[in-house]
Amino acid sequence: MDERALVGAAGFLLLFVLIALRIPVALAMVLVGIGGNYALSIVAPFLRFEPYLAQFKTLTWSVVSNYALSVVPLFILMGYLASHANLSRDLFQGMNVLVGRLRGGVAMAAVMACAGFGAVCGSSLATASTMGRVALPELRRLNYADGLATGALAAGGTLGILIPPSVALVVYAIVVEASVVEMFQAAILPGVIAVALFVAVIALRVRLNPALAQPAPPPDAAARRRALRRLVPVLAIFSGIILGLGLGLFTPTPAAAVGVFAVLVYGVILKVRTGEGLGVREIGDAIRDTAVTAGMIGFILFGAEVLKGFFARSGLPATLADWAASGAAEPWTVLVLVLVGLIVLGCFMDSLSMILVVVPFLFPVLLELNGGDWVTAADAAYGMGAEDLKIWFGILALVVVELGLITPPVGLNVFIIRAVSPGVRMGTIFRGVLPFFGVELGRVVLLVLLPGLALWLPHSL
């Protein structure tokens, strides 16, 4: 490894030190990118510092004007409109009517509602926070064990990162130059498997220990009709977007625009008819929250571009790719180490930052280990071509990032649920989440052994 690559490696380590010191990720990336390029200009004088700085005149515009990213603020706005219109509550109450009478059914309803709200929200942390506030009071009222209630909500919140439309999937597709639509299609089946596994965990736990949960009393006929009536349009909006994207009927940006319009119209109608929905204040709050979140994501993307310029000039990614191509590493061993590393990082970093910081390093290495850009499936180390590898690794990466969100002792989703469940100890939540952690590990193994779980829909459609 030459001096330039060593500077790149030092910058990579410094980045994680700054993040550990609680420096905002975007700012840490900008500082490392600028400081690292200055260090390169000293180590390798031909890499002048001034031309690097000159790119800043147009870099910000080139980041925010990318059409592929136009879908991000639209999906964020759709999520905030849905949240302010209390669609998360309608989802939970409707699912509760359908399955709440089963033993453990309210916890199952909470997981299903997490999946539905995650489909429109696209953020695991926001899904866990919102559904925790909606479902936890009902679970406590029905005397569900704290471990089961909080564990189901922490695990259910992770569904927001994978079930399309997902902001993280959009950003990953842009980073590796994959099709956004194909990434959404690939995420559907693994997402459905996750919901089924979580529901099965709840059913098994309450069967083995009936004291964990009691069947909810059946609602009266009027409450049942009202909950189902409010559930139908919400499911129609969310499922229409998912199915339209999955079947390739429309591209992500128009889908997001239609979703925003549908949620807005429905929320306004609710406000007029019932007084609960989207009024002027709620719409204003949603727009303001969207601007803050989209600005934060834009800053992270800008920081990632600054950092990417530094790493490209250092030659570190090329050095790693050459190492992989030299045959010094066994492909499947490297894949397992990458997945374990992502689980560990997922305990500390949000998914978007991980994708922008880590994937540009890891994916070229895996691509070289697989045989390069033009390798055929028959000759590839992982048994698939480069385009399929992008999709398969993307789903694997998002699943293990989900896993990091509930990994003891520092899973971010667990801390979110702890914040909305006063009086519940952290140890109780972690014990409650362990069975879900176990089945998530099983899902990772399934996706590694059976890549078709992620690739079947993109190939079929």
pLDDT at residue 309, rounded to an integer: 81
Which among 19, 16, 11 is positioned nearest to 40, based on CA atoms?
11
Residue 445 CB burial class (10 angstroms; 0-12, 13-18, ≥19) = exposed
What tokens does 303 get? Answer: 């920081």
Which among 152, 51, 167 is positioned nearest to 109, based on CA atoms?
152
Tens-place pLDDT, residues 22-59: 788 888 888 888 888 888 888 777 777 777 777 777 77
pLDDT at residue 113, rounded to an integer: 85
What tokens does 433 get? Answer: 């989440």
- How far apart CA 64 and CA 70 sit, in angstroms, is 8
Instruction: Name the pLDDT band for 198 (thresholds 50, 70, 90).
Output: very high
Tens-place pLDDT, residues 303-362: 888 888 888 778 777 777 777 666 666 888 888 888 888 887 777 676 777 787 788 778
Angle at 364 between CA 160 and CA 14, to 5 degrees: 75
What are the structural domain ranges in the chain?
Answer: 68-292
**Mean of per-residue pLDDT scores for the chain:** 82
Q: What is the dihedral of CA 11, 14, 20, 21, to 10 degrees?
A: -120
pLDDT at residue 197, rounded to an integer: 92
Residue 427 CB burial class (10 angstroms; 0-12, 13-18, ≥19) = exposed
Which among 358, 353, 360 is positioned nearest to 339, based on CA atoms?
358
Query: What one-character-per-residue DSSP string does 182-243 give?
Result: HHHHHHHHHHHHHHHHHHHHHHHHHHH-GGG--PPPPPPHHHHHHHHHHHHHHHHHHHHHHH
- How far apart CA 440 and CA 434 sit, in angstroms, is 10
Tens-place pLDDT, residues 401-456: 888 778 766 677 888 888 878 778 888 888 888 899 889 889 999 999 998 888 99
pTM of the model: 0.84
